[in-house]
Structures are given as C-alpha cells and as structure tokens.
Amino acid sequence: MQLSANIMNDVIPLPPRLDAVAAPTLLAKLLDCDQTADIRLDATETIHIGALGAQVLLSAHRTTEVNGTALSITNLQPRAQQQLTLMALTALMAPQEAI
C-alpha cells in the first residue's frame, strides 16, 4: 500500500524564468524533497522554461514515476505551456497520479 497519497512535500514555487541560472536551485530543492512523497510545483510566476529547466522538470517527473509518487505542476502559464509543448514535454503538464 502506497502512502504517497497522504504524504506531501511543501509546494515549491517555480521562478519567473526557469533557465540555466535557476535550474540548479530548483534541482537542489527537489533533491531535498522526501522521495517517498508527492512533489507539487507552483508555476504561477513562471513565464519562461528553458532547456535546462525543462531537463530538471523531466528528471523529477521520471524520478517520481520510479518512486511510485506523483509530480504536479500547477498554475502553468500559457507561455510556459507553449514552451513545454515545443519541447515535446506535454507529459509534464498532465496531472500525474501516484502508483
């Protein structure tokens, strides 16, 4: 029985620009998360997602899949959605359920 549905990390706010400068900071925050709990990211302020930022998001997505937990990105702005779509990363926009 998975407990991930009941255990949650704090919501991590994403920066306005998730680029090469911001990606290492996000990675550090994600590595500090409880790997047995779901991860929630708030993209309210995010208007740009660069390749390195997308790579960190994709890695987090794959890690949660392996761990049987979920990654969710809420409040994704239209421009950031378009950037993820252009990078063929639409799976990051769909709600992911814990296994």
30 part of a folded domain: yes
Domain count along the chain? 1
pLDDT at 93: 78
Identify the CA nearest to 53 among candidates 90, 18, 16, 92: 18
Output the domain CATH number for residue 69. 3.30.750.24
**Token couple for 74:** 């809420």
Torsion on CA atoms 19, 63, 96, 28, rounded to nearest 10: -40
Could you tell me the pTM of the whole model?
0.84
Angle of helix 23-31 relative to helix 51-67, nearest 10 degrees, comes to 10
Which comes out higher in pLDDT, residue 84 or 94? 84
Report how far Cα 5 is from the mean position of its chain's Cα atoms.
Answer: 17
Which residue segment(s) compose the domain that 76 sits in?
A: 12-91
User: How far, in Å, CA of 62 to CA of 6, rounded?
Assistant: 20
Does residue 75 lie in a domain region?
yes
Whether 96 is in a domain gets the answer: no
Q: Averaged over 21-43, what is the pLDDT?
A: 94
